[in-house]
Amino acid sequence: MKNKITIKTLIEMKERGEKITALTAYDVQTARLVDEAGVELILVGDSLGMVVLGYENTLPVTMEEMVHHTKAVVRGTERALVIADMPFMSYQTGVKDALVNAGRLMKEAGAHGVKLEGGREVLPQVETLVKAGIPVLGHLGLTPQSVHQLGGFKVQGKDQLQAERLKREAKELEDAGAFAIVLECIPAILAREISESLTIPTIGIGAGPYCDGQILVTQDLLGMDANFKPRFVRRYVNLHQIITQAVKEYITDVKMQNFPDEKESFSLSDSVNKTQLYSGGDSKDENS
């Protein structure tokens, strides 16, 4: 049995100076892959609206969609801590709505905690959820649910007034009970100051190397979208090219009648069980 990652694990990692790794997942197969690879935290982000569902931004994502995808990720995870995003307007409307919707993500979907965006304006929600036993991951800087208010996807905290506000709100989130804070698209030096001022971990995305951990959208680091490459993303493989080429080869094989061949077809005398059918086994099972 793999050692389960808990909130205490992440706090202890910060104390030791050990970096935390986090990635997104929206389905069971991706969850299995990143969990087996060893990330400590899997975020079921409302970014699924853009990455999976094709929305222009995260605003249209619903609670039903978040519950649906979180369930799948939880089923594919054995070790990592699974945190689910609270979608737009599932918590901004007050502490009661926040409690009910966060409860759904915990009870129905099996998440280990929730993430919500914002600083001082969401402190009552954070305090209420924590008192109810629901772990909360904070999120400051570029908060995608406020994209229209922020005037687009822009780096935050570049002037002194913004920087001081972010530092103050990070401390307030810690005091309210958040177990960690995502810092998105802020200057590296500011992220360093915030990280050093807190006892809880910071997890950066576009926030430089000084955060206590890093998170990326898994599809971005895998190069799934040839046209999308933010400055803060490092592509570790070009799956867009690999997958496209594989599909082209499949199309050619079908049209040239090279697929399926004899080994990939069944005869009247074949009798296989389910395991052999889906594992590529070719042994006979007369009792199936």
Residue 211 shares a structural domain with residue 248: no
Q: What is the pLDDT of residue 39?
A: 98
47 is in an annotated binding site: yes
269 is in an annotated binding site: no
Does residue 107 fall inside a structural domain? yes
Distances (CA, A) of 266 to 159, 192, 253, 285: 68, 61, 19, 14
Q: What is the pLDDT of residue 269?
A: 80
Distances (CA, A) of 6 to 13, 100, 211: 11, 23, 19
46 is in an annotated binding site: yes
Q: What is the pLDDT of residue 288?
A: 38
Residue 246 shares a structural domain with residue 104: no
* Distance separating alpha carbons of residues 116 and 10, to the nearest angstrom: 18
Tokens of residue 160, six digits: 């002194």
159 is in an annotated binding site: no
Residue 261 shares a structural domain with residue 187: no
Distances (CA, A) of 282 to 265, 272, 279, 287, 288: 11, 8, 9, 15, 13
Q: What is the pLDDT of residue 275?
A: 60
CA-wise closest residue to 172 among 127, 114, 112: 127
Asked if 172 is an active-site residue, the reply is no
Domains: count for the chain: 2
* Residue ranges, the chain, pLDDT below 50: 282-288
Residue 262 shares a structural domain with residue 163: no
* Distance separating alpha carbons of residues 39 and 36, to the nearest angstrom: 8
Contact between residue 140 and residue 170 where contact means Cβ atoms under 8 Å apart: yes
Residue 65 shares a structural domain with residue 204: yes
Residue 207 shares a structural domain with residue 260: no
Residue 258 shares a structural domain with residue 151: no
Does residue 13 fall inside a structural domain? yes
Residue 85 shares a structural domain with residue 216: yes
Residue 164 shares a structural domain with residue 65: yes
Does residue 2 fall inside a structural domain? no
Catalytic one among 127, 184, 193, 196?
184
Q: What is the pLDDT of residue 229?
A: 86
pTM of the model: 0.92
Q: What is the pLDDT of residue 177?
A: 98
Residue 245 shares a structural domain with residue 217: no
Q: What is the pLDDT of residue 278?
A: 67
CB atoms inside a 10 Å sphere around CB 81:
25
CATH number of the domain where residue 84 is located: 3.20.20.60
4 is in an annotated binding site: no
Residue 124 shares a structural domain with residue 245: no
Contact between residue 228 and residue 201 where contact means Cβ atoms under 8 Å apart: no
Does residue 288 fall inside a structural domain? no
Does residue 151 fall inside a structural domain? yes
